[in-house]
A and B are shown apart, each in its own frame.
Chain A
Amino acid sequence: MAGWFILPATALLLVFFCYPLGNIIWRSFTDPSTGFGNYTKLLHDGVSVTVLTRTLITGLIVAACTLVIAYPYAYAMTRVSPRARNLMTVVVLLPFWTSMMARNFAWYMLEQRGGLIDDAFSAVGIHGVVLLGTVSGVAVAMVQVMLPFMVLPLYSGMDGIDKRLLDAATSLGAPRWRAFARVYLPLSIPAVLSGFTLVFILTLGFYVTPALLGSPQQSLVPQLIATRVSDLLDFGGAGALGSVLLVVTLLALFVVSRFANLSSTTEKAVTNE
Chain B
Amino acid sequence: MSESTPALKTANTAGPGMRVRRDGGLGWGLKAMVGLVGLILVAPTAVVIPMSFSGGATFQFPPENWSLRWYESFFTSERWMRSLLTSVQIGLLVAVTTTILGVAAAFGLNRTRFRGRGAIRSLMLAPLIVPSIVVAVAIYGVFLKWHLNGTPIGFVTAHTIMALPFVITVMATSLAGYDRTLDTAAATLGATPLKTFFRITVPLVAPGVMSGFVFAFVMSLDEVVVALFLQTPDIQTLPVQMYNSITLEVDPTIAAASSLMVVVTSFVLLMPQFVRRKRSTS
Of B70-78, B88-96, B122-130, the one contacting chain A is B122-130
Encoded as 1 (CB less than 8 Å from any A CB) or 0, chain B from 133 to 154 comes to: 1111111111000000000000
Q: How large is the interface on A (under 10, 10 to 19, 20 to 34, 35 or more residues)?
A: 35 or more
The 8 Å CB contact of B101, one of A3, A12, A88, A235, is A12
Tell whether A143 is near chain B: CB-to-CB under 8 Å: yes
A205 touches B124 (CB 8 A): no
Tell whether A217 is near chain B: CB-to-CB under 8 Å: no
* CB-CB nearest in chain B for A155: B7
Residue among A9, A100, A212 with the highest chain B CB neighbour number at 10 A: A9
Tell whether B43 is near chain A: CB-to-CB under 8 Å: yes
Interface positions, chain A 75-104, Cβ under 8 Å from B, are 75-76, 78-82, 84-86, 88-89, 91-92, 94-95, 97-103
Tell whether B229 is near chain A: CB-to-CB under 8 Å: yes
Inter-chain contacts of A159 with B (CB < 8 A): 7, 10-11
Inter-chain contacts of B45 with A (CB < 8 A): 94, 98, 102-103, 106
The 8 Å CB contact of B133, one of A76, A100, A102, A226, is A226
The 8 Å CB contact of B1, one of A17, A86, A107, is A86
A225 touches B108 (CB 8 A): no
* CB-CB nearest in chain A for B121: A263
- Whether A242 contacts B134 in the complex (CB less than 8 A), given A2-B108, A8-B105, A273-B2, comes out as yes
Tell whether A20 is near chain B: CB-to-CB under 8 Å: yes
B134 touches A102 (CB 8 A): no
Inter-chain contacts of A7 with B (CB < 8 A): 108
A205 to B158, CA, bound (A): 17
Encoded as 1 (CB less than 8 Å from any A CB) or 0, chain B from 223 to 244 comes to: 1110001000000000100110
A23 touches B134 (CB 8 A): no
B44 touches A102 (CB 8 A): yes
Tell whether B131 is near chain A: CB-to-CB under 8 Å: yes
Tell whether B184 is near chain A: CB-to-CB under 8 Å: no
Of A44-52, A122-130, A182-190, A245-253, the one contacting chain B is A245-253
B127 touches A17 (CB 8 A): yes
- Whether A73 contacts B37 in the complex (CB less than 8 A), given A16-B157, A81-B23, A108-B246, comes out as yes
The 8 Å CB contact of A5, one of B105, B173, B222, is B105
Tell whether B205 is near chain A: CB-to-CB under 8 Å: no
A88 touches B120 (CB 8 A): no
Tell whether A168 is near chain B: CB-to-CB under 8 Å: no
The 8 Å CB contact of B61, one of A9, A115, A249, is A115
Tell whether B5 is near chain A: CB-to-CB under 8 Å: yes
Q: How far is the CB of B273 from the nearest CB of chain A, in Å?
A: 6
- Whether A116 contacts B48 in the complex (CB less than 8 A), given A2-B112, A8-B104, A24-B134, comes out as no
* CB-CB nearest in chain A for B101: A9
- Whether A20 contacts B59 in the complex (CB less than 8 A), given A13-B164, A212-B246, A262-B128, comes out as no
* CB-CB nearest in chain B for A264: B169
Inter-chain contacts of B189 with A (CB < 8 A): none
- Whether A27 contacts B141 in the complex (CB less than 8 A), given A101-B261, A106-B44, A110-B43, comes out as yes
21 interchain pairs, CB-CB under 8 A: A7-B108, A13-B161, A17-B126, A20-B135, A20-B142, A24-B138, A69-B33, A72-B37, A76-B26, A79-B26, A82-B8, A84-B23, A102-B48, A102-B262, A115-B61, A143-B40, A225-B134, A226-B133, A245-B131, A266-B125, A270-B170
Across the A-B interface, give the 9 residue pairs with the lowest CB-CB distance, nearest first. A205-B131, A106-B44, A5-B108, A102-B258, A6-B108, A20-B138, A99-B261, A9-B105, A2-B111
Q: Can you add 17 more A-B contacts, CB < 8 Å, to A10-B120, A208-B243? A: A9-B102, A10-B123, A17-B135, A20-B135, A76-B33, A84-B23, A91-B41, A102-B259, A105-B246, A109-B61, A110-B43, A143-B40, A229-B140, A230-B229, A246-B134, A270-B169, A273-B272
